[in-house]
Amino acid sequence: MTREELKGILPHREPMLLLDEAAAGGDGNAYGKYKVRGDEWFLQGHFPGKPVVPGVIQCEMLAQTCCVLMAENMKGKTPLFTGIDKARFRGMVLPGDTMEFVCSLNKAKPPFYFAKGEGYVGGKLCVSGEFSFALIEGV
């Protein structure tokens, strides 16, 4: 899916749409990509002269990738974080890097969904975590 196609399932819009592309794989995983351009709002002041993508932004990128797996259940609903567990950051993500995400759903008990994900730059693991969401109507 392109950014425009992602807008069909995600409620996020610029500047909070943090994926360039994503797809559900036939293996039950979702795959996403984001190229860090260097002019993003979240790099301004983080850190002056040495921009680094914040860990919370990396978690949001993973969460948006997870939403691809919940697309059929998201119609008319908003995915809200209910938890972030075991988040680990193993490498800096810098301007010019392309992040690649792999996410899977562990369990669903609507309206709650439980997932895990990993983010890589150049094949090196940079972020991982477990996430829970509630799909809420009317938000």
Convert the pLDDT of each residue in 22-77 to its tens digit.
999 999 999 999 999 999 999 999 999 999 999 999 999 999 999 999 999 998 99
Q: CA-based Rg of the chain, rounded to a whole angstrom?
A: 14
Q: Which of 17, 33, 40, 46 is catalytic?
A: 46
pTM of the model: 0.96
Percent of the chain with pLDDT over 70: 100
Euclidean distance between CA atoms 54 and 89, whole angstroms: 10
| Residues 75-92, mean pLDDT to the nearest whole number | 96
**Cβ–Cβ < 8 Å for 93, 126:** yes
pLDDT band for 138, please (50, 70, 90 cuts): confident
Active site residue 12: no
**Cβ–Cβ < 8 Å for 109, 42:** no
- At 92, which helix (H) or strand (E)? none
CATH 3.40.50.620 fits 3-137, yes or no: no
